[in-house]
Amino acid sequence: MRLFAAVLPPETAISELADAVAPLHALPQAGGLRWTGEQTWHLTLAFLGQVDAEDLDPLRTRLGAVAAAVDRTPRLRLAGSGSFGERALWVGLAGDTLPLRRLADEVVKAARDTGIDVDERPFRGHLTLARSAGRNGPPRAAGRGLSGLAGPLADFSGAEWPADSLRLMRSHLGAGPAHYETVAEWALGAGSAEDGDGGA
């Protein structure tokens, strides 16, 4: 199964970001982009890739221990914006970003200790809003100017919220939009490794 670890913003944070993003859809340079759905918005801590079923229980045990070791719930805000060249538009993070980075590092370590070959990209806290449509021909031209869409969101600063849980997510990819399912969830800052098997 294709897995990643993430923190999900609360509905209030999603709603205020959605209000800020909505006007961007009407801008000329937004044509041809693939916009992520609000129901999929998340902050990836680590992309784990394809994980064998036999590795799932050991991974869950280690991630539960990682979550239990967090002694204070990080408080975050969605704020600012930018782009990865002409590939993706994102909104950034403010607040307790250092503890979140440490959490991401611990998640990666737990995955590697389980024998999972984790993506080597360093953690960079962001929520992806849109991507250029692809590599094959016209979509790249349609994505030209994507970086300019970050300007209207540069001053965005949402309300603060507690990052109170760590989630292990499963990504279902197909012909339509991506669908994410919560495989397991652990409280952060509660001193508990209790495992919740939430499903999407």
Q: What is the set of domains in the chain, with CATH numbers?
A: 2-187 (3.90.1140.10)
CB–CB of 86/140 below 8 Å?
yes
Rounded to whole angstroms, the Cα distance separating 182 from 178 reads: 13
CA angle, 185 then 191 then 194, to 5°: 35
Average pLDDT (50-76) is 96
Active-site option among 25, 42, 172, 179: 42
φ, ψ of residue 7 to 5 degrees: the values are -115, 135
Can you give the pLDDT at residue 134?
Answer: 62
Task: Give the predicted TM-score (pTM) of the model.
Answer: 0.86
* Residue 42 annotated as catalytic: yes
Which amino acid is it at 39? Q
List the catalytic residue out of 25, 126, 172, 179: 126
Q: Is the dihedral of CA 25, 178, 125, 34 positive or negative?
A: negative
Residue whose structure tokens are 């969605």: 78
Is residue 107 within 8 Å of residue 45, measured between CB atoms? yes
pLDDT digits (tens, 9 = 90+) for 64-106: 999 999 999 999 999 999 998 888 999 999 999 999 999 999 9
Task: Kindly state the tokens that stand for 149.
Answer: 């869409």
Is the dihedral angle over the CA atoms 140, 142, 145, 149 positive or is it negative?
negative
Asked if the model's pLDDT at residue 183 lies above 90, the reply is yes
Question: What are the structure tokens assigned to 102, written together?
Answer: 């440490």
Coil, helix or strand at residue 138: helix
The pLDDT of residue 127 is above 90: yes
Distances (CA, A) of 102 to 74, 119, 127: 11, 16, 18
